[in-house]
Chains A and B, each alone.
Chain A
Amino acid sequence: MDTIRTKINIDPMTRIEGHLKIEVVVENKKVVEAKVGGTLYRGFEQILINRNPVDAIQITQRFCGVCPTPHAIASSQALENAFGIMPPANGRIIRNIMQGANSIQSHILHFYHLASLDFFRGPDVPPFIPRYEADYRVPTQVHEALINHYVQAYQMRLKAHELCAIWSGKMPHMASIVPGGVSIRPRIDNITTSLWRLKELREFIDTVYLPDVITIGEIYRDYFQIGMGGKRFLTFGLFDLDNEPDVTKRKRFIPMGRIIDGKAESVDTKKITEDVMSSWYDSSSHLHPSKGETLPNPDKSNAYSWLKAPRYDSKAYEVGPLARIALAYQTKSNPKIVQLVDDALARLQVGPEALYSVMGRHLSRVIECKVIADELEQMIMQIKLEEPVCTDHKIPETAEGMGLWSAARGALSHWISIKNGKIARYQAVVPTTWNASPQDDKGQPGPMELAMMGTVVEDSENPFALARIVRSFDPCIACAIHILEPGKSVKEFRIL
Chain B
Amino acid sequence: MSLNHGFSRRDFIRWAVAAPAAMSFTEEFIPKLASALEEAVKEYPIIWLQASTCSGCSVSVINTIHPSIKNIILEQVLPGHQLKLMYHGTLMAATGSLSTDTARETAEKFKGKYILVVEGAIPTKEKGIYGWIGEKEGKPMTMFDWIDLLGRNAMATLTVGTCAAYGGLPSAAPNPSGSMGVTDVYKTLNIATPVINIPGCPCHPDWFIGTVAKILLYGMPQAKELDEYGRLKLFFARSIHNHCINRDYMDDGIFASKFGDEGCLLELGCKGPFTYGDCPIRLWNGSTNWCVAAGGPCIGCTEKGFPDAHSPIYQRR
Q: What are 20 A-B residue pairs whose CB atoms fall within 8 Å in the complex? A: A41-B131, A42-B169, A42-B176, A43-B175, A46-B176, A51-B311, A54-B313, A59-B169, A63-B54, A127-B93, A154-B62, A158-B285, A159-B286, A161-B63, A168-B289, A172-B56, A175-B291, A175-B297, A389-B260, A390-B258
Task: Judge whether A158 and B62 touch: CB under 8 Å.
Answer: yes
A79–B201 alpha-carbon span in the complex (Å): 23
Q: Residue B94 at the A interface, CB < 8 A?
A: yes
- A388-B97 Cα distance, complex, nearest whole Å: 54
Shortest distance between the CB of B135 and any CB in chain A (Å): 6
Q: Is the CB of A126 within 8 A of B284?
A: no
Decide: B296 and A176 in contact? CB cutoff 8 A: yes
**Does A47 touch B at the CB level, under 8 Å?**
yes
Complex Cα distance A125/B262, Å? 51
Stretch at the interface among B16-24, B69-77, B231-239: B69-77
Say how far B58's CB is from chain A's closest CB, in angstroms: 7
Known A40-B130, A169-B291, A169-B296; judge A151-B3 contact (CB<8 A).
yes
| B307 on interface, CB distance cutoff 8 Å | yes
Contact A39-B259, Cβ < 8 Å, known A12-B95, A46-B174, A127-B86: no
The answer, among A65, A123, A144, for a CB contact under 8 Å with B55, is: A65
When A and B form their complex, which 9 residue pairs have the shortest distance between CB atoms, in order from nearest? A65-B56, A175-B296, A43-B176, A183-B295, A169-B294, A175-B291, A165-B285, A170-B284, A52-B312
Q: At the interface, yes or no: B33 with Cβ under 8 Å from chain A? A: no
The answer to whether A493 and B285 touch across the interface, beta carbons within 8 angstroms, is no
* Dominant secondary structure of chain A at its interface with chain B: loop
Interface size on B, residues (CB 8 A): 90
Chain A residues 60 to 83 lying within 8 A of chain B, measured CB to CB, are 62-66, 68
Q: Give the distance in Å from the alpha carbon of A155 to the alpha carbon of B170 in the complex.
A: 31
- B169: chain A residues at CB < 8 Å are 42, 44, 47, 59, 62
The answer to whether A64 and B55 have CB atoms under 8 Å apart is yes
Cβ of B113 within 8 Å of any chain A Cβ, yes or no, is no
Answer whether A19 and B132 are a contact pair too, CB < 8 Å, given A39-B140, A127-B86. Answer: yes
Question: Do A12 and B291 form a contact, CB below 8 Å, given A154-B70, A158-B286, A171-B285?
Answer: no
- Name which of A129-137, A281-289, A352-360 contacts chain B: A129-137
Q: Does B126 contact A (CB under 8 A)?
A: yes
B69 touches A154 (CB 8 A): yes
A40 lies within 8 A of B176 (CB): no
Q: Given the known A-B contacts A15-B90, A65-B202, A123-B74, are A130 and B98 also in contact in the complex, defined by CB atoms under 8 Å?
A: yes
Interface membership of A111, Cβ < 8 A: no
Do the beta carbons of A144 and B2 come within 8 Å of each other? yes
A124 within 8 Å of B by Cβ? yes
Structural contact, B53 and A478, CB atoms closer than 8 A? yes
A-B contact count (CB 8 A): 291
Q: Could you tell me if B295 and A184 are in contact, using CB atoms closer than 8 angstroms?
A: yes
Task: Known A-B contacts: A132-B95, A154-B70. Give 8 more (CB < 8 A).
Answer: A11-B133, A65-B202, A68-B56, A128-B92, A148-B2, A162-B288, A173-B301, A467-B95
Q: Which residues of B approach A to under 8 Å, CB–CB?
A: 1-3, 5, 8, 10, 50, 52-60, 62-63, 65, 68-70, 73-74, 84-100, 102, 123, 126, 129-135, 139-140, 143, 169-170, 172-177, 179, 201-202, 258-260, 262, 284-286, 288-297, 299, 301, 307, 311-315
Instruction: Give the residue name and chain of the A residue nearest to B262 (CB).
Output: A185
Decide yes or no whether A55 CB sits under 8 A from chain B: yes
Quick one: which of B95, B100, B258 has the most chain A CB within 10 A?
B95
Specify the chain B residue showing the minimal Cβ separation from A151. Answer: B70
Knowing A17-B90, A129-B93, A489-B126 are in contact, say whether A181-B54 is a contact too (CB < 8 A).
Answer: no
Contact yes or no, B87 A154, CB < 8 A = no
Q: Which residues of A contact B99 (CB under 8 A)?
A: 12, 14
CA distance A122 to B96 in the complex (A): 18
Contact of B133 among A39, A66, A130, A184 (CB under 8 A): A39
Task: Answer yes or no: A373 CB below 8 A from chain B CBs.
Answer: no
Query: What is the interface of chain A, defined by CB distance below 8 A to chain B?
Result: 9-19, 39-44, 46-47, 51-52, 54-55, 58-59, 62-66, 68, 109, 113-114, 117, 121-132, 144, 147-148, 151, 154-155, 157-159, 161-162, 164-176, 178, 180-185, 193, 388-390, 392, 467, 478, 486, 488-491, 493-494
Q: Which residues of A contact B50 (CB under 8 A)?
A: 19
Q: How far is the CA of A488 from the CA of B126 in the complex (A)?
A: 8
Knowing A42-B177, A59-B169, A65-B57, say if A123 contacts B5 (CB, 8 Å).
yes
Identify B131's interface contact among A40, A147, A172, A467, CB under 8 A.
A40
Are A41 and B123 in contact (CB-based, < 8 A)? yes
Which A residues are CB-close (under 8 A) to B62? Answer: 154, 157-158
Please measure, in the bound complex, the distance between the C-alpha atom of A158 and the C-alpha atom of B62, giving whole angstroms: 8
Q: Are B259's CB and A126's CB within 8 A?
A: no
Report the separation of the CA atoms of residues A144 and B1 in the bound assembly, to the nearest whole angstrom.
6
CB distance from B249 to the nearest CB of A (A): 14
Q: Is the CB of B56 within 8 A of A493?
A: no
**Whole-angstrom CA separation of A16 from B55 in the bound complex:** 10
Of the candidates B84, B143, B175, B258, the one having the most CB atoms from chain A within 10 angstroms of its own CB is: B258
Most buried by A among B3, B90, B297: B90
Contacts of B140 in A (CB 8 A): 39, 493-494
